[in-house]
Amino acid sequence: MSRRPIIAGNWKMNMTRAQATELITALKPLVKDAAAEVVICVPYTDIDTAVALCKGSNIKVGAENVAWAEKGAFTGEISADMLLELGTEYVIIGHSERRQYFGETDASVNARLKTAIAKGLKPIVCVGETLEERESGKTDDVLKTQVTGAFDGISAADAADVVIAYEPVWAIGTGKTATSEQAEETIAGIRAEVKALYGAEVAEGMRIQYGGSMNPKNVKELMAQPDIDGGLIGGASLKAVDFSQVVNYDA
C-alpha cells in the first residue's frame, strides 16, 4: 500500500507573529512542488497568521496541543472548537516535552486524541522512549504501552486516519539521531503493534513519522527506510531553507 509521506514542522515555543510571517513567506515558494504533505504546527498565537498566509498553498496548519474537554474551567487549555474556528487542520498530541514537563500521560493523550477525532482534527500522536529505557532494553515495552494507551477505545476506522510520530526522547534537541536502521526497526515495531490492535490493512495504511532530529543531512537516508513515512521536525523547521530541504528530500 502506498503511503504519502508527511513532513510536519513543530515550532514549539518559538516565533512571534512577525517572525512567523517572515518564515512562511519565505517557505511557500520553496515547497510549492513538494510530493510530500507539508504541515507546520505553530504556537496558538501564530495560528491565525499561519492560516491566512498558507491559504491557497500546499501548506497545512496544525496546533501543538488540544484540550480533552469541549469547554470549561481548564485554565491555559485550548479547545478543539477554538482551533477549528481559526482554520487549524492538524494537531500534535502527546509530545515528549508535554509528557516530560507538563505531566502528560497515556490516559490524557488518549482523552485528547478522542476529542480531536470527534471534532475532525487530524492528530499526530507522539510516542518514544528515553535513553535510560532504550539502554535497559525497554524500548519495545514502552512503545507498546504508549500505543495501546493512546488508542484505547478508538475504532479501526478512526485509527486509520491518525499519524504516529516516533520520537526517541534522547534524540530530541540533542543533535543525536538514531541510525536509519534503529529508526526503521523501531518504527516497524510500532507498525506491528498497530497491526496487532487493528489488523494489517490499518497498519499498512497508517503513516508513521520519525521525530528525532531529522534534518537536511540525514533525511534521505531515513526516508529511504520502508516503514518511515515522514518526519516531525523541530529545529530544522524554524529555517525556511532547512525545512524545505527536508520536505524536498526526494528532489
Q: Which residue has the cell 527536508?
A: 246
Beta carbons of 20 and 50 less than 8 angstroms apart: yes
Active site residue 167: yes
* DSSP codes joined into one string, 75-118: TT---HHHHHHHT--EEEES-HHHHHHH---HHHHHHHHHHHHH
CA distance linking residue 172 with residue 27, whole number of Å: 23
Q: How buried is 76 (Cβ within 10 angstroms: 0-12 exposed, 13-18 middle, 19+ buried)?
A: exposed
Buried b (16+ CB within 10 A) or exposed e, 123-160: bbbbbbbbeebbeeeebbebbbebbebbbeebeeebbe
From the list 184, 179, 189, 177, the residue with the least C-alpha distance to 235 is: 177
Burial degree of 118 (CB within 10 A; 0-12, 13-18, 19+): exposed
Annotated catalytic residue within 129, 133, 167, 193? 167
Q: Which of 37, 64, 95, 97 is catalytic?
A: 95
Cβ 177 vs Cβ 212: under 8 Å? yes
- Total residue count of the chain as it appears in this document: 251
Q: Which helix H or strand E contains 132, and what residues bound it?
A: helix 131-135
Does the annotation count 22 as an active-site position? no
Catalytic residue IDs: 95, 167
